[in-house]
Copies of this chain bind each other. A is one copy, B any other.
Amino acid sequence: MSPEPIPLRAPVRRADRARQVADVLRQQIHAGAFASSLPGEQELAAEFTVSRNTVRDALALLKDEGLIERAPRIGTHVARRKYDHGLDALLGLKETLRGHGEVHNEVRAATRVVPPLAVARKLRLEPGRQAVYIERLRWFGDLPLSLDLTYLVPDIGDEVITRDLETNDVFALIEQISGGPLGSADLALEAVTADAHSAANLQIPEGGALLLLERLTRLEDGRPVDLEYIRMRGDRITMRGSLTRPPERTDWRLI
């Protein structure tokens, strides 16, 4: 009772072919395959065995993403590079971008708050107990990369906000203060469009794409100490990681 072989089909619509081409070019741009300008339309058409019109549609998609710039007689240029943020290591932004340039944090808030119940529960605080709240706009050179809202347990947070928050990762400060390494974190990653106010802060158009990362971080002993809501510019950050198939099928789980 083997299933019927399905007939072989190729994408027929130009929009489908353009998407195919755009996906491969995007990866090449991220990988630095083009010094600054992309090959001409004719060359790309030959490389992808598609029409020049399809190449133009593909380039239009990448232009809409803000990845390339196009001008008559000048050609197609890489508009911006994206920065890789590790998905499979617990690294702060500054650590992540070490060697690429300087991260500077604009501290918009650093104070004690009575956190909402849902936050208190995640940080295992009794209802009504205070937490420390930090809000930072994180700059990489003159580029705003992310807007971070951080809730910390008070015993660590009270000390964190006496430190230099403008140049340090919160992760590094927590490790200094707790005297041990961070243990683990739960991540939830979503794509959302930017509301007007977040867009203005991050200097992107309203409705631009954001990676929204919610991260609950624990010390080595398993105690949750840091709950963050991080909005990253979709046009500037790629999250990268490697993963391994778990050896025991029975161990797989919906997480």
- A210 in contact with B238 (CB, 8 Å): no
Contacts of A8 in B (CB 8 A): 110-112, 161
Q: Which of A205-251 contact B (CB under 8 A)?
A: 207-211, 214, 229, 232, 234, 237-247, 249
Shortest distance from the beta carbon of A103 to any chain B beta carbon, whole Å: 13
Instruction: Say how many copies of this protein the assembly contains.
Output: 2
Shortest distance from the beta carbon of A148 to any chain B beta carbon, whole Å: 11
| Chain A contact residues, CB within 8 Å of chain B | 2-3, 5-11, 13, 15-16, 18-21, 23-24, 27-28, 30-31, 33, 47-49, 61, 64-65, 82, 84, 86-91, 95-99, 107-114, 116-119, 133, 135, 149, 161-166, 181-193, 195, 197-198, 207-211, 214, 229, 232, 234, 237-247, 249, 252-255
- A89 in contact with B6 (CB, 8 Å): no
Closest 6 pairs (CB-CB, A-B): A191-B234, A3-B164, A15-B197, A191-B191, A191-B209, A23-B229
Contacts of A242 in B (CB 8 A): 184-187, 255
